[in-house]
Chain A
Amino acid sequence: MRYAMAIDTKKCVGCSDCVVACQTENNVPIGFCRDWVTETVDGTYPNVSIELRTERCNHCDNSPCVRCCPTGASHFEDGGIVMVTHHKCIGCGACIQSCPYEARYSHPDGYVDKCTFCIHRVRKGENPACVSVCPTSCMYFGDLDDPNSEIVNVLKNRKFKALAPEAGTKPNIFYLT
């Protein structure tokens, strides 16, 4: 099992519904968030284009955060989901420094927090909160090892990219372009 997410940048309208859904679902403290939306403009006027991306932890295969965690609080769960065990985290900040996606933050309670792919929902067979609320259905979540899954299908038929592949972390969030 290898969980991954594909996000259609052509469909995303940047409404931030995913951000709010995540904050509600996971009780993220006010002023913090586990996912966010960025906007990239490229080209020269009048040929400009905008790309909107909803970003979060990439649950990388080669996770620097898991590697550098001194206590083993950051670890892989089934399906390659990177998780933080709160009672093992000492809040040293090593994983925050090591993440090229800056997906982690220090929770006001002291431990480090980040996207969990809504593992509590995924284990029940549901989609992560952000995916389930997306009004344009631009997000796909699924198992890369399952050849019949929607995500494998969409990645087969569309061009996609990952963010900062040069950081060498083998990210599992793909952006359909």
Chain B
Amino acid sequence: MKEELFVSGRNIPNIDPYLHIWHWQIPIYLFLGGLAAGILFLAAVYTILGKDKEMQATVKWAPFIVPFALIIGLFMLFLDLKHKLYFWQLYTTIRLESPMGWGAWVLMIMTPISIVWSASYVREVFPNWDWKFKFLYTFEAWVIKNRWFIAWPMAIYAVILGIYTGILLSAFNARPLWNTTILGPLFLVSGMSTGAACIILMSKNHEERRLIGRLDLLFISVELFFIVHMIMGFLAGSQVQIDAANLFLGGQFTVPFFVFVILLGLIFPAVLETLELIGFKVPIVIPAILVLLGGLIFRFIMVEAGQITRYLY
């Protein structure tokens, strides 16, 4: 077998550093998308279960973040585009093969749903809010009446949105670290977990916090399982995938990954939440903030590390 001892790089000044083409905008967008998916999914599920009176923060308060998260996320995507004035081309084509294509459509559906959902609760938060037009009042009454039916597509779209944030990366077979379908479910549970953390931060009801805290514990465990699964999959894969896994197992991303994502972002909050469940007094704000930060750092690491894994050179 021929062994390549040395391959000269391409040394093309304006291209090579720029092939690292996704910067901070993409991880923030993925984080906000996952967060929105998590919150909307939980809001929809508890509405479907008829628990909207008990779970005020889940169903009512937290979804107010979602339209802002999605709009900021879309703005991040827009910032990332290099040919910005042509962005509307995304919405003149339907290409199911392209995750970015259908993801753009999912966001196009999800953002209005989240706005309508929050708008239907606006008058409960601000009793003096005036919709100005009569048809808006009619529409509001219709939405309030049909919340249970809106919750179903919202739950389904939330899952698609959460999976999309991972599939967006896994579609690129030139980046071995990303090219694994487990990224879809992994980013979904990670999004659910950050969504749950956000609800915990906003909730004033002890029972609700406990319930969502338990759910968060479940999400964290599943996420840890998926991460192990992902690394095992890489190690059983081709050489480029083994190299990709080695970025986390001794390579340059080992410390940030294990310290900030695994330890501080998943295991430590899980321990704190377990302690709280068995009766210790733990300020629940701490694990919630750690989960949120861990989720954000996880996306930064995945996007950065993915772009240095490659086939050639």
Contact = CB atoms under 8 A, between A and B. Distances in A.
A105 B5 contact: no
A42 B312 contact: no
Tell which of A42, A101, A102, A169 has the most Cβ of chain B within 10 Å.
A102
Interface string B10-50: 10111100110110000000000000000000000000000
A106 B83 CA distance: 9
A70 B173 contact: no
A93 interface: yes
B11 to A, nearest CB: 8
Given A100-B173, A166-B240, A91 B311 contact: no
Interface in A123-171: 163-164, 166-169
A70 B14 contact: no
Interface stretch (B53-61, B94-102, B150-158, B288-296): B94-102
Interface string A25-57: 000010111001011111100001000000000
A105 B18 contact: yes
A29 to B, nearest CB: 8
Contacts of B86: 71, 87-91, 110-111
Contacts of B77: 92
Contacts of B97: 67-68
B278 to A, nearest CB: 45
Interface string A106-118: 1001111000000
Most buried by B among A40, A89, A96: A96
B171 interface: yes
B172 A106 contact: no
Contacts of B82: 91-93, 106, 110-112
Interface string A75-107: 000000000000111111110111111100110
A98 B174 contact: yes
A164 B89 contact: no
A96 B7 contact: no
Interface residues of A, number: 47
Given A93-B22, A105-B18, A166-B238, A70 B101 contact: yes
Interface-centre pick from B8, B95, B172 (highest chain A CB count, 10 A):
B172
Given A90-B87, A167-B173, A105 B8 contact: no
Contact of A100 (B83, B89, B307, B311): B311
Contacts of B93: 70-72
A173 interface: no
B99 A68 contact: yes
B98 A96 contact: no
Given A33-B12, A70-B101, A96-B19, A168 B173 contact: yes
Contacts of B80: 92-93
Interface centre among B19, B82, B95 (most CB of A within 10 A): B82
B8 A71 contact: no
B255 interface: no
A90 B83 contact: yes
Contacts of A64: 171-174
Nearest to A93: B21
A97 B81 contact: no
A6 interface: no
A68 B98 contact: yes
B104 interface: yes
A32 to B, nearest CB: 5
7 contacts: A64-B171, A91-B82, A94-B100, A99-B174, A100-B312, A102-B10, A110-B86
Interface of B: 2-10, 12-15, 18-19, 21-22, 77, 80-84, 86-87, 89-90, 92-93, 95, 97-101, 104, 171-175, 178, 238, 240, 307, 310-313
